[in-house]
Structure 1
Amino acid sequence: MSYPAAPRRSAVANAIYGLLNPIPFGFFVAAMIFDIIYAKTGTILWVKAAAWLITLGLLLAIIPRLVNLAQVWITSRRFSTGADHVDFWLNFVAIVAAILNAFVHSRDAYAMMPAGMWLSVLTVLLIAIGHVIIAVRYSTDRGYNHV
């Protein structure tokens, strides 16, 4: 059985997005781990490092989010699926949570707990759910069959 070829998006945009999209997620995961370590140990070094990681993650999230915005809502909106839209909105809410988290982390180390840790967990969970949704979509689109 033959299926029609799926329309392709810009190769350059896909390359930029694929290269830069995982980097902020790594920073946010590291910040969450540092927040958990701070909650267990009380050493201020961990919360200050988490604040820097959140800030760097937000700065590095700008370009992939702009590429994703253009692909989902502007240039390829006829070809984007519901999974693309859900992933976009989950990442948008995660970025808003990370911005709030950056403000919470700017407070005194003792004053940022537990709100900073929960915002870090929320940010990581939202981005991870978006990645899972996209992964499931691609695996069902390609029709992987385990024989």
Structure 2
Amino acid sequence: MRPTRVDRPIAVHPFPAAMLAGSFFMLLGALLSDITYFRSYHIQWQNFASWLIVGGLVLSAFAVLFSLFDLRAARRTRAAVIYALLVIAMWIVGFFNALMHARDAWASMPGGLVLSVITVVLGLVATVMAFRRVRTGELQ
């Protein structure tokens, strides 16, 4: 019998990973709405961005909650800690982004656009971490 390599996923349950992926696309939509608002000055794009940010925060709250449960459990690996910190940072920056978008029309620019970019980058890195597989190097 030849030895096989064992793959072990990072401690992310499928439900919070799906919530994180859904929130990433909502936050990406908010970023695209911000870019469109920055170029067109149509207020409705800012409203779209505000609602998409709130939707992304609601979905990513599940990922934050589950990442905290994983840290509390016996799965406290380095990857799980980095993942939890990324998800929490994404949620906090997204929350401040929602507050920035609550301002009156053009007062949310360019700060809202910058916070949207930061939120999307953090969300992308956290989503990639949630769905990638770690090679342990163990042979069976």
TM over 0.5: yes
Q: Using the alignment, how far apart are the partners of 1:31 and 1:142 within structure 2?
A: 40
Q: CA deviation at 1:105?
A: 0.3
Structure 2, unmatched stretches of 5+, are none
SS of residue paired to 2:84? helix
**Runs of 4+ with >6 A deviation:** none
Higher relative strand content: 2
Match of 1:140 in 2: 135
SS of residue paired to 1:140? strand
Scaled by the length of structure 1, what TM-score is found?
0.79
Whose RCO is larger (CA < 8 A, sep 6+)?
A: 2
Match of 1:43 in 2: 42
Scaled by the length of structure 2, what TM-score is found?
0.83
Q: CA deviation at 1:132?
A: 3.5
Match of 1:125 in 2: 121
Q: Using the alignment, how far apart are the partners of 1:74 and 1:100 within structure 2?
A: 26
Match of 2:72 in 1: 74
Aligned residues between the structures = 136
Q: Is the 2:34–2:49 contact (alpha carbons within 8 Å) kept by the matching residues of 1?
A: yes
Q: Is the 2:17–2:130 contact (alpha carbons within 8 Å) kept by the matching residues of 1?
A: no
Structure 1, unmatched stretches of 5+, are none
Amino acid at match of 2:125: I
Moved more, 60-69 or 109-118: 60-69
Q: Is the 1:58–1:99 contact (alpha carbons within 8 Å) kept by the matching residues of 2?
A: yes
